[in-house]
């Protein structure tokens, strides 16, 4: 698999722009978007860059990269960066997730926190593809990554979005 051309950090490959094709991207195409997103990682402490790509319900792809902090607890994984960017753009329904780790010899799955965050917006059957440096990927689903998600049924989908009300 060939690396995509270098792009400027001021023009990241993530705009949430709908695809013009009616067909979903292949796993390889979605992983390619995650690979490109990994170029924008900020990982000076772990030196473990990660990129993620979410296929939104409208066909757009939103990407994210991991962003570290000296206080590791304040760091953010690529999957959650993509998820938070997508939700901030109004996307709350997703058809697939891809993760790319350019410094890993083998595919690396999302961490537990990312699995939990993704499960908030992705039904259990949502495909997840994760790949290492050679592009070989593992295909699974959110439900397989987070089995017996007892909290899935707690969400009140009829709740009003917006500011909290005070009494």
The residues annotated as belonging to the active site are: 79
Burial of residue 87, with CB atoms counted within 10 A of its CB: 0-12 exposed, 13-18 middle, 19 or more buried: middle
Whole-angstrom distance, CA of residue 145 vs CA of residue 110: 8
Q: Are 25 and 46 in contact (CB under 8 A)?
A: no
Q: Are 48 and 83 in contact (CB under 8 A)?
A: no
Which residues fall within 8 angstroms of residue 78, CB to CB, at 6 or more apart?
34, 37, 38, 41, 50, 51, 52, 64, 65, 66, 99
Query: Token match 């995650």: residue?
Result: 34
What DSSP state is assigned to residue 101?
-
- The values of phi and psi at residue 59, to 5°, are 95, -10
């Amino acid at each position: 698999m060939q690396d995509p051309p270098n792009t400027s950090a001021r023009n990241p490959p993530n705009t949430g722009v709908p695809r013009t094709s009616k067909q979903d991207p292949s796993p390889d195409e979605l992983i390619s978007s995650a690979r490109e997103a990994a170029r924008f990682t900020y990982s000076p402490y772990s030196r473990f860059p990660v990129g993620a790509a979410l296929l939104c319900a409208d066909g757009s792809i939103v990407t994210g990269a991991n962003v570290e902090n000296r206080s590791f607890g304040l760091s953010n994984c690529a999957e959650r960066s993509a998820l938070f960017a997508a939700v901030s753009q109004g996307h709350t329904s997703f058809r697939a997730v891809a993760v790319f780790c350019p410094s890993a010899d083998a595919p690396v799955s999302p961490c537990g926190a990312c699995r939990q965050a993704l499960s908030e917006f992705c039904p259990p059957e949502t495909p997840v593809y994760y790949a290492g440096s050679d592009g070989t990927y593992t295909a699974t689903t959110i439900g397989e990554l987070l089995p017996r998600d007892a909290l899935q049924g707690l969400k009140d989908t009829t709740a009003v979005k917006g500011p909290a009300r005070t009494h």
